[in-house]
Amino acid sequence: MDWTIWLEWVLKGFILCLVLLTGFAYLTWYERRALARIQVRVGPNRAGPQGLLQPIADAVKLIFKEELTPGRVYKVVFVLAPVLTVVPSLILAAVIPLGSSFTLFGREILLHISNINVGVLYIMSIASIAVYGIVLAGWSSNNKYAMLGGIRSSAQMISYELSLGLCFAIAIVMGNSMNLIDIVNAQRGMWFAVIQPVGALVFMIVTLAEVNRAPFDMPEAEQELTAGYHAEYSGMKFALFFMAEYQKMIVICMIAATLFFGGYREFWFLKDTFFSVDRFWFLGPIYLLLKVIVLLFFMIWIRATWPRIRYDRLMAFGWKVLLPLSLVTVFITAAGILLAQELNNQLYIWSIPVLSIFSAMVAVALVYRDLRRKSHGRF
Partner 1 sequence: MTSELIVFLVLSLVAVSSALGMLFSRNAVYSALFLVLNFVTVAVFYLLLGAPFIAMSQITVYAGAIMVLFLFVIMLLGAESLAPAKTLPWQRPLAILLAVILAVESIYLVFARARSDAFVAAPDVAVNSMDNLREMAMILFNQFLLPFEVTSVLLLVAMVGAIVLTKQVKGEQR
**Touching partner 1, residues 173-202 (CB under 8 A):** 178
**Touching partner 1, residues 54-83 (CB under 8 A):** 74, 77
Is the Cβ of residue 185 or residue 276 nearer to partner 1 in the bound state?
A: 185
Give 245's contacts (C-beta < 8 A, 6+ positions apart): 211, 212, 213
- Asked if 229 touches partner 1 (CB under 8 A), the answer is no
- Asked if 316 touches partner 1 (CB under 8 A), the answer is no
Could you give the CA distance from residue 223 to residue 60 in angstroms, rounded to a whole number? 29
Q: Pick the stretch among 2-10, 134-142, 247-255, 292-300 that binds partner 1 (CB under 8 A).
A: 134-142
CA 182-95-159 angle, to 5 degrees, is: 100
Is the Cβ of residue 128 or residue 226 nearer to partner 1 in the bound state?
A: 128
For partner 1, the binding residue among 101, 128, 185, 351 (CB under 8 A) is: 128
Write down the number of H helices and E strands in the chain: 15, 2
- Asked if 345 touches partner 1 (CB under 8 A), the answer is no
Is the Cβ of residue 128 or residue 351 nearer to partner 1 in the bound state?
A: 128
For partner 1, the binding residue among 59, 129, 304, 339 (CB under 8 A) is: 129
For partner 1, the binding residue among 19, 36, 121, 367 (CB under 8 A) is: 121
Q: Using CB under 8 A, count the residues that bind partner 1.
A: 27
- Asked if 117 touches partner 1 (CB under 8 A), the answer is yes
Tell me the CA distances in angstroms from 100 to 113, 187, 271, one per residue in order.
Answer: 12, 14, 15
**Touching partner 1, residues 137-156 (CB under 8 A):** 138-139, 147, 150-151, 154-155
**Shortest distance (Å) from residue 131 CB to partner 1:** 5
Strands (E), the chain: 101-104, 107-110
Is the Cβ of residue 184 or residue 193 nearer to partner 1 in the bound state?
A: 184
- Asked if 158 touches partner 1 (CB under 8 A), the answer is yes
- Asked if 116 touches partner 1 (CB under 8 A), the answer is yes
Phi and psi at 41, nearest 5°, equal -120, -175
Residue 106 C-alpha from the chain's centroid: 36
For partner 1, the binding residue among 91, 124, 315, 335 (CB under 8 A) is: 124
Question: What are 233-236's contacts with CB under 8 Å, separation 24+?
Answer: 233/82, 233/137, 233/141, 234/65, 234/66, 234/67, 234/68, 235/62, 235/65, 235/66, 235/67, 235/68, 236/62, 236/63, 236/65, 236/67
CA 300-301-306 angle, to 5 degrees, is: 105
- Asked if 125 touches partner 1 (CB under 8 A), the answer is yes
Is the Cβ of residue 90 or residue 147 nearer to partner 1 in the bound state?
A: 147
**Shortest distance (Å) from residue 1 CB to partner 1:** 9
For residue 97, whether the previous peptide bond is cis, meaning omega lies within 30 degrees of 0, is: no
- Asked if 327 touches partner 1 (CB under 8 A), the answer is no
- Asked if 132 touches partner 1 (CB under 8 A), the answer is yes
**Residue positions counted in the chain:** 379
- Asked if 207 touches partner 1 (CB under 8 A), the answer is no
Is the Cβ of residue 173 or residue 355 nearer to partner 1 in the bound state?
A: 173
DSSP run (H or E) holding 337: helix 323-342
Is the Cβ of residue 146 or residue 295 nearer to partner 1 in the bound state?
A: 146
Could you give the CA distance from residue 55 to residue 333 in angstroms, rounded to a whole number? 43
- Asked if 135 touches partner 1 (CB under 8 A), the answer is yes
Handedness of CA 291, 296, 301, 302 (dihedral sign): positive
Is the Cβ of residue 120 or residue 292 nearer to partner 1 in the bound state?
A: 120
Question: Bridge-partner residues for 103, per DSSP?
Answer: 108
Interacting residues toward partner 1 by CB under 8 A: 74, 77, 116-118, 121-122, 124-129, 131-132, 135-136, 138-139, 147, 150-151, 154-155, 158, 161, 178
